A and B are shown apart, each in its own frame.
Chain A
């Protein structure tokens, strides 16, 4: 029940294309769903986050879509660029409880030029 399942494990997208990464969760108590981006040799950094009161959040080329009934959320990267090549992690937590994030296993994105 604590798991967050992420797919695909790896993704290759052409420059200018759309990258889509999906996550699913079981625990309905989760109320905070962030995406982290990690470049080689660096720690993960928060990219964008959503809470279940909205179905979509957009920041620049990055959009989270959230489906509460299906217990799924996804990251869309529009106009993917080689600089977006990184590992992406979805996560979930019970925000007000200050609990640790439960992470998906990550998706390695490679954007070819």
Chain B
């Protein structure tokens, strides 16, 4: 069975902290994605990766960076968390040709 796991379900951080969100998939997928979900705005793509050490900016990359050192792990980094980054963060991996599998999400609150 396909599995995408995210390191935390809930996270509370202070403004200015560096935040790491981890995502692991066990399906040997090459493409992985980070989205944020906000009410009324749907899912917006932050970054994606199509191979180890490869990354591409999505629609809203400002304030975020990513790391993919191993195929199964894709990390989202908030360099200096701000209150407007309070959101639900969803990781996904792609099963060719088109189906994306999502993790359960991390609800991040920045105070």
Contact = CB atoms under 8 A, between A and B. Distances in A.
Interface of A: 6, 9, 32, 34, 36, 41-46, 49, 89, 93, 95-96, 98, 100-101, 103-106
Interface in B76-111: 90, 92, 94, 96-105
A100 B98 contact: no
A47 to B, nearest CB: 11
For chain B, what secondary structure do more than half of its interface residues adopt (helix, strand, loop), or is it mixed? strand
B99 A44 contact: no
Contacts of A44: 43, 90, 102
A98 B96 contact: yes
Interface of B: 4, 30-31, 33, 35, 40-45, 48, 50, 58, 90, 92, 94, 96-105
Contacts of B102: 36, 43-45
Contacts of B45: 100
18 contacts: A6-B42, A9-B40, A41-B104, A41-B105, A42-B105, A43-B90, A43-B92, A43-B105, A44-B90, A89-B42, A98-B94, A98-B96, A100-B45, A100-B58, A100-B100, A103-B42, A103-B43, A105-B41
Contacts of B96: 98
Contacts of A46: 99-101
B43 A34 contact: no
Contacts of B58: 100
B42 A96 contact: no
A45 B41 CA distance: 18
B50 A98 contact: yes
B100 A101 contact: yes
Given A41-B104, A43-B103, A43-B105, A32 B42 contact: no
